[in-house]
Each structure stands twice: as C-alpha cells, then as structure tokens.
Amino acid sequence: MRRLTPEELSARNKRNLAIAGALVAFIVLVFAVTVLNLKRNIDARADAIAAGQPVEYAR
C-alpha cells in the first residue's frame, strides 16, 4: 500500500465532507417531510373533530 500525497489527502477530505453534507441534507429533508406530514394529519384530525365527524384510531 502506498502513501497518499498531500494533494490526494486533501481531495479525499473534500470528498468526505461533500458526502457528509449530502447525507446531512438528506436526513434533514426526511425529518422535515415527516414533521410536515404529522402536522397535516393533526390538523385534519382537529378539523374533523371540530366538524363533529367521528375520528377513528389506528386499527
């Protein structure tokens, strides 16, 4: 196994940071979509209760 040059190490570090940034962005996106879906369901449930409609729980 050969030693990496400083340029190769720098390139690897930059690539690792780019991958880490993309992973964090994906996690934030999934979290945001989940929170928005939960909020939408809570709002729909509150509207149904206010309208006097029966609300079913998960079966």
Q: Which amino acid is at 10?
A: S
pLDDT at 58: 58
The b-or-e profile of 27-38 (16+ CB within 10 A means b, else e) is eeeeeeeeeeee
7 vs 56, higher pLDDT? 7
Nearest to 58 by CA among 47, 46, 45: 45
Contacts of residue 4, defined as CB under 8 A and 6 or more positions apart, other chains included, come to 12
Q: In this model, does residue 15 exceed pLDDT 60?
A: yes
Predicted structure pTM score? 0.75
d(CA 13, CA 20): 10
Backbone φ, ψ for residue 58 (5° rounding): -60, 140
pLDDT band, residue 53 (cuts 50/70/90)? confident
